[in-house]
Amino acid sequence: MKRRLLYLSSSFFRLSPFAFVLVMTSCLSLRKSSESDKPLNLYNPGKSVIHPQFTVYHTSANESMLFFKVLASEVIFNQANPSVRDQARLKVYYTLYSSFSKKEVAARDTQSFVINRESVSDAIIASMKVPTEKGKTYLLDVTLEDEIRQYGARDFVWVDRFSEEPRQNWLVLNQPGNHVAFESFYYPGESFRIIREDPPSEKIFISVYSPRNILPLPPYSIGDQPDNVPLPDSTIARAYSGQLQYKLGGEGVYVFHFNPDKVRGLCLTQFGDHYPQITLPEDMLPPLQYISTREEYQKMIVVPDHKKAVDDYWINAGKTYANARDLIRVFYNRVVFANLYFPSSKQGWKTDRGMVYVIFGPPGRVTRTETREIWVYEGSQSEMDVQFEFNLTEDHWWGYDFVLKRSEDYRGLWSNAVNSWRKGKIFSL
């Protein structure tokens, strides 16, 4: 999968020069977020024409930088401006909550960006400052608006200044070109640079773990998830002076950290040449564990021809080639989007949110707070809504992840969904 290269619009870094590609004007605004109580329409790419991404980097003890990117093809450029040049006009406004449930606002800001078409290629990337304090967590309610199209997209971004070693202390730049990285996975041979303001040591450690293959328990299983923290396969030390150029090796989980006795820091992953796409038969087999029996899966993985094993499974479920193709298209599209939407120290489809997404499809509504995410699947007039609650939980490698609040009440729903897939019918709530 080709990685989209993005160009910086700011030169606030002292460590290296960056190309200016945006003409930016900004103004402080106390605009109130009148939509703060409305649920988000996330995880369904067909519901929006603009799909911005956001990432946060802590630049000092009392300030962070919010980066955003949006594809140039998703915004409107026209010449309705005094210079008669192809330009886009974007507005980004945010409300920073120290407590979303109590509606305690720490800061608000609005900035406008004027982008000349000849200055950008595939995507637009820019940044704005956010006042934050160490020892706190925030929820950033941010909206990017295309002023020409008169259409916006809204998201909530968790800002972590409380954890011992938050990953937002690090900025990753793809090489060559110093392009800000919005993804956490890398392909073999890809070079990147990591930056950390005020590093606590002149030596950095890189611990490598084998890929994590443990699947989440079903939504109805209330037992403990068997996911013990293993020792790293290897750990190396490198000199560090505020930045480090590096390439990941084989597949696995890579953690960059300063304390040799505690593997907490920046987590990056290498999941193969094609991730997050599912293109090879050997990649198509593992997600079938969600809808196959243990005996069925064990038989499939020992078949020498994995393509035949996958084809036979879906043809047997779909009964016809046409239906099997539809099942494959929807099922594996969900796997791919789970990989993109739910980055973690394991592949996105293996997370709790990824499991629910693959089996049930994208939620109709999403609500976020500082500590949880709630998915709502709207039922028909004769059916009740279905709700899944994911709580923010500490993750040894990633720092944090969202863990499903499991309940025996989901047993029947899960059984119906799995049986639907097995009988050749796409399941969606």
Any idea which of 84-88, 227-231, 263-267 has the lowest mean pLDDT? 227-231
Q: What is the pLDDT of residue 226?
A: 65
Q: Identify which of 412, 414, 408 has the alpha carbon closest to the alpha carbon of residue 222.
A: 408
Q: Identify which of 367, 366, 369, 375 has the alpha carbon closest to the alpha carbon of residue 138.
A: 369
Q: Identify which of 277, 298, 289, 282 has the alpha carbon closest to the alpha carbon of residue 422.
A: 289
pLDDT band per the 50, 70, 90 thresholds, residue 39: low
Residue at 7 is within a domain? no
Radius of gyration of the chain from its Cα atoms, rounded to whole angstroms:
22
Residue at 350 is within a domain? yes
Task: List the domain range (segments joined by +) for residue 264.
Answer: 191-270
**Bigger pLDDT: 250 or 26?**
250
Q: What is the pLDDT of residue 283?
A: 95
Distance CA(373)–CA(288), nearest Å, equals 26
Q: What is the pLDDT of residue 13?
A: 32
Residue at 266 is within a domain? yes
Residue at 16 is within a domain? no
378 and 241 in one domain?
no
Residue at 15 is within a domain? no
Q: What is the pLDDT of residue 177?
A: 82
Residue 340's Cβ-count burial label (10 Å; 0-12, 13-18, 19+) is middle
Report helix, strand or coil for 23: strand
Q: What is the pLDDT of residue 228?
A: 72
Q: What is the pLDDT of residue 2?
A: 46
370 and 243 in one domain?
no
Q: 23-52: b or e for each residue (b if 16 or more CB lie within 10 Å)?
A: ebeeeeeeeebeeeeeebebbeeeeeebeb
198 and 313 in one domain?
no
Q: Identify which of 262, 259, 261 has the alpha carbon closest to the alpha carbon of residue 200.
A: 259
Any idea which of 311-320, 336-345, 378-387 has the lowest mean pLDDT? 378-387
Cis, bond preceding 176 (omega within 30 deg of 0)? yes
H-only helix segments in 213-360: 281-284, 294-301, 306-318, 321-341, 352-360
340 and 205 in one domain?
no
Tens-place pLDDT, residues 58-115: 999 999 999 999 999 999 999 998 888 999 999 999 999 998 888 899 999 999 999 9
Residue at 427 is within a domain? no
406 and 330 in one domain?
yes
Q: What's the domain count of the chain?
A: 3
Residue at 180 is within a domain? no
Residue at 247 is within a domain? yes
43 and 158 in one domain?
yes
409 and 293 in one domain?
yes
Domain boundary among 169, 199, 224: 169
Any idea which of 116-125, 240-249, 393-402 has the lowest mean pLDDT? 393-402
Q: What is the strand order of the sheet 23-27 is part of?
A: 23-27, 104-116, 87-99, 137-146, 151-160
| CB count in 10 Å sphere of residue 22 | 20
- Tell whether the torsion through CA atoms of 263, 267, 271 and 272 is positive or negative: negative
260 and 392 in one domain?
no
342 and 322 in one domain?
yes
196 and 163 in one domain?
no
Residue 382 has pLDDT above 80, yes or no: no
69 sits in the region (left: phi over 0; alpha: psi -120 to 50; else beta) called beta
Strands 252-257, 266-270: parallel, antiparallel or unpaired by DSSP? antiparallel
Q: What is the pLDDT of residue 37?
A: 55
Tens-place pLDDT, residues 182-224: 999 999 989 999 999 888 999 999 999 999 888 999 999 987 7
177 sits in the region (left: phi over 0; alpha: psi -120 to 50; else beta) called left
Any idea which of 14-23, 78-87, 231-240, 294-303 has the lowest mean pLDDT? 14-23
Domain boundary among 220, 238, 270: 270
Q: What is the CATH number of the domain that holds 136?
A: 2.60.40.10
Cis, bond preceding 17 (omega within 30 deg of 0)? no
155 and 66 in one domain?
yes
Q: What is the pLDDT of residue 38?
A: 60
For all residues of the chain together, what is the average pLDDT? 87
pLDDT band per the 50, 70, 90 thresholds, residue 127: very high
Residues forming a β-bridge with 95:
108, 141
Domain boundary among 217, 239, 270: 270
Tens-place pLDDT, residues 276-318: 999 999 999 999 999 999 999 999 999 999 999 999 999 999 9
Q: What is the pLDDT of residue 133?
A: 95
Angle at which helix 321-341 crosses helix 352-360, to 10 degrees, equals 150
pTM to 2 decimal places: 0.87
Mean pLDDT computed over 170-184:
92
Q: What is the pLDDT of residue 42?
A: 84
291 and 263 in one domain?
no
